[in-house]
Amino acid sequence: MASHTIGIIVNGATGRIASTQHLANALIPIIDEGGLAHGDDRLVPRLLLTGRDAARLAAVARTHKLADWTTDLDAALADPAYPIFFDAAATQGRVAVLEKAIAAGKHVYCEKPLSPAAGQGLALLREARRRGVKHGVVEDKVHLPGLQKLAALTRGGALGRVVGFRLEFGWWVFDGSEQPCQRPSWNYRAGGGGIILDMYPHWRYVIETIVGRIVRVASSAWIATPERVDERGARYGVAVEDSAATLLELEGGAFGTIVSSWATRVRRDDLLTLQVDGSKGSAVAGLHRCHVQSTAQTPTIAHFPLACDFAAGVRDVAFADACHRSMRERTWIALPPAKEEDRR
């Protein structure tokens, strides 16, 4: 079995997404396992970390026992030993660094969103195709075990014709005054921030992969936490939405909703849940689990006397009548028990 080294530039390596999701949870374990099996060979990543802060880059490199890092992005892009460029830096700078990487002939892969606006992303797509380089965007959520199970149900027709769906996502992001904010401050500034640009790219591919193609939307968004504290301890006004609600129509006529917020305390199965209702059954998935109920499994109950029958309704109104009479007469009004024949 031959071993082949594949050079990857990891830009924005000091950020939370790159250092945890892509380095600690993916690339470093692949390296530690001796590479990724490819037929009879193994591909072993060789990483070059790039970013703006030398001290933080050096710390990340030490943590992961990596030798190569630099703050000189142009020099990294000029190095032929690294044919792949991965960008996980702040959204507002993504278009410029991807343009540089494509111009340098690198194959490019990046975190979502690809760009702040679709027109910019289309220009990047056309340039990557013109240059003949491979290109990709992170679309990882659809591979979560719970959503994989839900996708198997919808693809296999177990739920029948989809009649509706509901996607709910959110968690509480501290404002930084008493507890450190779990997200970077640029996430709440104009020019790349906001929950719609940050999270809705995920919801697009999740919905279109599992449920159906989106044909139109109606959306609203708001700022639930108007002031936050940044990484330097300075207060700033939030300029973009941290909560949003959207109504969607799918090809085929089904409707669904998305509710997303960084200002909600979770009390549901998971941070993300997606429920799909169909003519043959319903299913709801979280990150790891998926619960399904078919039409045949829907609970039914045999006949029994209903406690809230008309006799109960009569007593409801008698209570209201007694209150009105007491108000008029300014005295206590008795509420006698119902007559025996009325209770039967």
Q: Do 228 and 264 fall within a single domain?
A: yes
Whether 36 maps to a domain, the answer reads yes
Report residue 28's pLDDT band, with 50, 70 and 90 as the boundaries. Answer: very high
Q: Do 132 and 56 fall within a single domain?
A: yes
pLDDT at 190 over 90: no
From 112, 137, 162, give the residue that closes a domain: 137
pLDDT at 344 over 60: no
Q: Do 20 and 104 fall within a single domain?
A: yes
Give pLDDT, residue 300: 66
Give pLDDT, residue 301: 66
Give pLDDT tens digits for 41-92.
999 999 999 999 999 999 999 999 999 999 999 999 999 999 999 999 988 9
Domain that holds residue 168: 141-294
Q: Do 84 and 174 fall within a single domain?
A: no
| CATH code at position 240 | 3.30.360.10
Q: What is the mean pLDDT of the chain?
A: 93
Q: Do 225 and 282 fall within a single domain?
A: yes
Q: Do 116 and 189 fall within a single domain?
A: no
pLDDT at 161 over 80: yes
| CATH code at position 18 | 3.40.50.720
Whether 215 maps to a domain, the answer reads yes
Q: Do 208 and 79 fall within a single domain?
A: no
Q: Do 83 and 111 fall within a single domain?
A: yes
Report the number of distinct structural domains present in the chain: 3
Give pLDDT, residue 308: 81
Task: Report the amino acid identity of residue 184.
Answer: P
Whether 239 maps to a domain, the answer reads yes
Whether 65 maps to a domain, the answer reads yes
Average pLDDT value for residue range 105-115? 96
Q: Do 243 and 179 fall within a single domain?
A: yes
Give pLDDT tens digits for 285-339.
999 999 999 987 776 666 677 778 888 898 899 999 999 999 999 998 989 887 7
